[in-house]
Amino acid sequence: MDYYLKCIECGADFDKTEIIYTCRKCDGLLDVIYDYDEIKKNMDMEKLKTAPPSVWKYKDLLPIAIEPVSIREGGTPLYKCDRLAKKIGVKELYVKHEGMNPTGSFKDRGMTVGVSKAIELGMKTVACASTGNTSAALAIYGAKAGIPSVVLLPAGKVALGKIGQALMHGAKVIMIKGNFDDALALVRELCEQEPIYLLNSVNPYRLEGQKTIAFEIVDQLGFKVPDRVVLPVGNAGNITAINKGFKEFVTLGITDKRPKMTGIQTEGACPIVKAYKADADDITPEKNPETIATAIRIGDPVNARKALIAIKESGGMAESVTDAELVQAQKDLAQLEGIGVEPASATSVAGLKKLVDAGLISKDETVVCVTTGHLLKDPEEVISVCTEPVTVEANLEALRKAVFE
């Protein structure tokens, strides 16, 4: 399949055989550009309509020629959530639960493609900075590929489940005395100097894997397109990726419209929201981002330029929520729908509620919220926001008292 990399700022082209993360001329972000006419000619439309969703179902639209490094990622459930819809006040609400991926977050979609690309390019070591989930995904795909992985984490700010995964799958785990943005700047420098493949979402191949969320949503809605997709935004790769997926289906004539991409951040870490509200085309980095949603505790999102374009061209918006609002949404998802998510994921639902309450989203819309990571990622947060279990003596009288009190 034919494709190349194109700078979104100056338009410079780069060959697919190059090991490159940003434009050599202007340092702009890169996009993977395909020959869509060729894809259209070769695509098996019957299979597209009948095979069950998974990342590699859409391999005609992915930039990998080798047998991929895969542990069966994607194919996550799209739940119709009537009780939650009623509480929020929208007509039709679905939740795409990305916590049901192999490591419990959507990062697996990016890493199955990213680590496959590393192997295809002949790279022998992979690395990333991470707020947690990227490190878990890199560790597991590195293990599956049989190559070493190095992960940089902000010391003291990563949820326990994620560190556990990175360690058990055998990554070299390095804690940085700084925040995520510091860790990312460091690992980018390291990968420029050493033959180590960088797998943060600045790498455009990661986003190619993540765009399959859009394909699956369309697929699972019976080839209908929702009015709006709402999701948490951290480094801003996923909102960019999902938007690209919806665009490609339109380009290929599979669908005829696109959803409004709506990004949610927390009040303590919301540079994209501020830029959106100021109608600016780039962000002002925040020095000390802080939120209970550690997965999106990011002050200088690397994909900001791409994300702001995606939000604008899709007619979407960006909004921020408080930690208290996202914890309430986390409990609503868990207790009204049986969907267990980590704090960052719940911002999608909290943001939707805020925007519906404010009259900025119509109650007649069909909305898909993406929940990005699983509840078990961050057990410490759960313990801190739920009421403590009661402890009683081991006799029936004490038990009755506890049950019926």
Ligand X SMILES: *Cc1c(COP(=O)(O)O)cnc(C)c1O
Report whether 133 belongs to an annotated binding site: yes
Report whether 263 belongs to an annotated binding site: no
Piece in contact with Zn ion (CB under 5 A), picked from 19-27, 53-61, 79-87, 393-401: 19-27
Tokens of 89: 């006040």
Q: Which does 45 bind (CB under 5 to 8 A by kind): ligand X, Zn ion, none?
A: none
CA–CA separation, 244 and 238 (whole Å): 10
Q: Which does 12 bind (CB under 5 to 8 A by kind): Zn ion, ligand X, none?
A: Zn ion
Nearest alpha-carbon partner for 98 in 348, 309, 270, 319: 348
Question: What minimum distance in Å lies between the beta carbon of 346 and ligand X?
Answer: 10
**Sign, CA torsion 331/337/339/343:** negative
Closer residue to Zn ion (CB): 7 or 317: 7
> Across-strand partners of 30?
7
Pairing mode of beta strands 92-97, 78-80: antiparallel
CA–CA separation, 193 and 195 (whole Å): 7
Report whether 112 belongs to an annotated binding site: no
Closer residue to Zn ion (CB): 9 or 60: 9
Q: Does 318 sit near Zn ion (CB under 5 A)?
A: no
Q: Which does 200 bind (CB under 5 to 8 A by kind): Zn ion, ligand X, none?
A: none
User: Contacts with Zn ion: how many residues (CB under 5 A)?
Assistant: 8
Q: Does 9 sit near Zn ion (CB under 5 A)?
A: yes
Confirm if 32 and 205 have CB atoms less than 8 A apart: yes
Q: Does 7 sit near Zn ion (CB under 5 A)?
A: yes
Q: Which does 126 bind (CB under 5 to 8 A by kind): ligand X, Zn ion, none?
A: none
Question: What minimum distance in Å lies between the beta carbon of 31 and Zn ion?
Answer: 11
Question: What minimum distance in Å lies between the beta carbon of 146 and ligand X?
Answer: 25
Nearest alpha-carbon partner for 132 in 363, 346, 345: 345
Q: Does 24 sit near Zn ion (CB under 5 A)?
A: no
CA–CA separation, 18 and 405 (whole Å): 67
CA–CA separation, 149 and 146 (whole Å): 9
- What one-character-per-residue DSSP string does 292-337 give? S-GGG--SS-TTHHHHHHHHHHTT-EEEEE-HHHHHHHHHHHHHHH
Identify the three-state secondary structure at position 186: helix
Question: What minimum distance in Å lies between the beta carbon of 70 and ligand X?
Answer: 20
Considering only residues 2, 13, 18, 25, which one is a binding residue for Zn ion as defined by CB under 5 A?
A: 25
Report whether 125 belongs to an annotated binding site: no
DSSP state of 98: G
DSSP 3-state percent helix, strand, coil across the chain (nearest 5):
45, 15, 40
Closer residue to Zn ion (CB): 29 or 252: 29
Confirm if 64 and 116 have CB atoms less than 8 A apart: yes
Give the residue at shortest CB distance from ligand X. Answer: 373
Confirm if 146 and 182 have CB atoms less than 8 A apart: no
Closer residue to ligand X (CB): 201 or 243: 201
Q: Which does 26 bind (CB under 5 to 8 A by kind): ligand X, Zn ion, none?
A: Zn ion
CA–CA separation, 262 and 352 (whole Å): 9
Q: Does 132 sit near Zn ion (CB under 5 A)?
A: no
Q: Which does 295 bind (CB under 5 to 8 A by kind): ligand X, Zn ion, none?
A: ligand X
Q: Which does 268 bind (CB under 5 to 8 A by kind): Zn ion, ligand X, none?
A: none
Provide the binding-site residues for ligand X, judged by CB under 6 A.
Answer: 105, 107, 133, 201, 232-238, 295-296, 342, 344-345, 372-373
Report whether 241 belongs to an annotated binding site: no
Pick out the residues of the known binding site.
133, 234-238, 372
In the complex, which residues of this chain contact Zn ion (CB under 5 A)? 7, 9-10, 12, 23, 25-26, 28
Pick out the residues of the known binding site for pyridoxal 5'-phosphate.
133, 234-238, 372
